Structures are given as C-alpha cells and as structure tokens.
Amino acid sequence: MKLSFDDLTADILKPEKYEGAPSVLYHYCSNESFFRIIESRSIRLSALNCSNDSSEGQWYWDLLAQEFQSRGLDIHTKLPGLYERLFGRGPTLGFCLSEAADRLSQWRGYADDGRGFCIGFSGAALQSFRRRFVKVEYSREKQDAMIKEIASRQIDGGRELTDGIDEYSGNLLYAMKNPGFEEEQEWRLLSSKPAEDCDYFSRGNILVPYETLKMTGEDLGVFVKKVIIGPNNKTPAAFVQAFLHKYDFTRSQVSVEPSKSTYINR
C-alpha cells in the first residue's frame, strides 16, 4: 500500500520533549565556563558537530544506513545528498545537561577533571527560551524501532525516498547516542540557524558557531537552583555564594555545596 505525503508527515518521529521533569538539570563545566556563564548572565548553545565528541550525529546515521542495507538498499544511492545536507548545513547548536548531580564520570569528562563546577538549572526556566528541549535516547530497542519506522515510511510509502526524511533526521540526528553513554542521562537545549547568523569563538584548531541566550530578570536565582563545587576545585563555598550574589543570582535561592565525590586528579 502506498502512503500519501500527508500520511508520511502526520506523525513525525521526534525525541522525548521536556515536560517539566526532572525539575533541575545539571550542566558540568570548567572553572572558566562557570565564570563566563555567571558573569555574562547567559548560556551558550554551541555547534554539536564541533564538539570534542567526533561521533556526534554519526550514531544515528550509521543506524539508518544499516537499516537501509538490511533491506537491500544503499543509503547513498537511494538518498543522494542526505548526508551532506545533515552534516554540512547550518549548524545544530546545543547546550547539554544531565539528570545526574555530582556524578564522577561527568566530573571527569566535562568539568576539567573535577576542577570545574556543576550548575543545577531550572528546567522550567530553560524551557522559557523556547528552543527545542529534548531527552537523548540511549535504548537500542527504542532506537531500532524509530529507525525501522523511518525506513518503512520512506520505502513502503513508494516515494522517491526523500519526502520527510530530512525532517525525521533533523529531529533525531543529535538525540540518539551509543547506549554505552547511558550513564550521562543527557538532555539537550537545541537550536538551528544559518552559519552566517551565528557568533563564533576559537577553540584549538577550530572556529565554533554558537548562540547566546541571556538570563534576564531581577532575580536570576529562578534559573540557577544549585551549584556544586568540583572535587578538585579549591574555591570556598562562601566565595561562590558571593560571586553568585554579585551577578544577581541571589543567595537565598541558590544552594552551594562541595562535591561529595572522592576524586584524585589524574
């Protein structure tokens, strides 16, 4: 049975959206990044394909290619130009968070070996930025079901294998990761915009596109609910509290505490 274009687009496959829980999500960062976030009263969504993780987006693509191959189809032949459109178009910008507070693997991977901070953001406040706010899917069973559904809609629909695939892929490209990273329990605030409309910063051997989202209001404690000082960060809690207060993240609303993780710097 051939499907109409309306059938193909009526139920677009999308990752789980943020709907208010968990109420606090945690961003692990270096000492320098923490300073910049608080001093500038802003967060930065940066290009995910310029991150330190070279597999960003590739996991989804590999699963899709494998599914087409299992059906006797070569994805590059049947979907010419799709890879280039997904990975070469305007950047997908992201701000990454975790459900997990004070987790050792996160300190190691994202907070300068524990020398940084873990910022507990209000999910509802981040939602007010009106960007895509999605949960990363790690379950291989769920990933396979979504990939099979995408392939079926395209192939069984009898189309030229282009209708809808860009939209499906755009939704899921940066919302699927290897199950080996499940411990991260990641959520992402996402935005897409033309490269010429982005701001840029330099990191190592690459220029990274980004977008700045300003935290506004008389009391910015509605955005930041908790700060955990890294296990290898030597800043006294009183100094962190004073720093937050100086930039309108009031003492009364922001909890500051040292990490309970035991971690010797590598």
**CA distances to 79, 152, 163, 169, 205 from 64, in Å:** 11, 11, 15, 9, 31
Provide the pLDDT for residue 132. Answer: 94
Provide the pLDDT for residue 3. Answer: 41
Tell me the C-alpha distance between 266 and 261, whole Å: 14
pLDDT of residue 152 exceeding 60: yes
Tell me the C-alpha distance between 124 and 18, whole Å: 9
User: What is the H or E stretch that residue 225 is in?
Assistant: strand 224-229
Q: pLDDT tens for residues 49-81? A: 887 676 788 999 999 999 999 999 888 887 888
pLDDT of residue 156 exceeding 80: no
Backbone angles phi, psi at 100, to 5 degrees: -95, 125
Q: How far out from the chain centre does Cα 223 lie?
A: 18
- Neighbouring CB atoms inside 10 A of 243's CB total 17
- Residues in the chain, overall count: 266
Structure token digits, residue 159: 């189309």
DSSP structural state of residue 195: G
Q: 24: pLDDT confidence band, cut at 50, 70 and 90? A: very high
pLDDT of residue 164 exceeding 80: no
Tell me the C-alpha distance between 24 and 102, whole Å: 13
Structure token digits, residue 21: 């829980």
Q: 87: pLDDT confidence band, cut at 50, 70 and 90? A: confident
Q: 1: pLDDT confidence band, cut at 50, 70 and 90? A: very low
DSSP structural state of residue 186: E
Structure token digits, residue 40: 């500038």
More confident position, 253 or 185: 185
Q: Are 25 and 100 in contact (CB under 8 A)?
A: no
Q: What is the pTM of this model?
A: 0.89
Provide the pLDDT for residue 184. Answer: 94
Q: With CA atoms as reference, report the closest residue to 263 among 119, 121, 120, 111.
A: 111
Q: Are 229 and 117 in contact (CB under 8 A)?
A: yes
Q: Are 43 and 119 in contact (CB under 8 A)?
A: no
**CA distances to 69, 91, 121 from 165, in Å:** 16, 18, 34
Provide the pLDDT for residue 19. Answer: 92
- Neighbouring CB atoms inside 10 A of 104's CB total 15
Report the SS3 class of residue 72: coil
Place of tokens 């939209």: 167
Provide the pLDDT for residue 6. Answer: 43
